[in-house]
């Protein structure tokens, strides 16, 4: 029986925050997880841990999510003599 390769979902979030200064208005976050929901949740947490957004109350934001799949290599590598 051959095992399927393990896949991890990856979500990138690009956010535009019009309330912030121009130098801090564009922020990015990234998250990985077994499902898209978990990966997106981790990406949002990563986004709001950025110093520009930390401890701020954001009332307006434009978010763009990009979803991808990363396949983990589970095959043993062959060692050459």
- Can you give the residue ranges of every domain in the chain? 7-70
Strand bridging mode 7-16 / 26-33: antiparallel
What are the pLDDT digits (tens) for 14-30? Answer: 999 999 999 999 999 99
36-58 mean pLDDT: 92
Gyration radius of the chain's alpha carbons:
18
DSSP class per residue in 1-20: -PPPPPEEEEEEEEEE-TTS
Strand bridging mode 62-71 / 7-16: antiparallel
CB-based burial of residue 40 (10 Å sphere; 0-12 exposed, 13-18 middle, 19+ buried)?
Answer: buried
pTM: 0.79
The predicted pLDDT at position 6 comes to 84
């Amino acid at each position: 029986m051959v095992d399927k390769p393990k896949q991890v979902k990856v979500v990138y979030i690009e956010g535009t925050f019009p309330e912030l200064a121009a130098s801090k208005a564009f922020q990015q976050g990234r998250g990985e997880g077994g499902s898209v929901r978990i990966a997106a949740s981790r990406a949002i947490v990563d986004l709001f841990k950025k110093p520009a957004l930390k401890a701020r109350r954001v009332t307006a934001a434009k978010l763009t999510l990009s979803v991808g799949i990363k396949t983990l290599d589970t095959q043993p590598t062959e060692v050459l003599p």
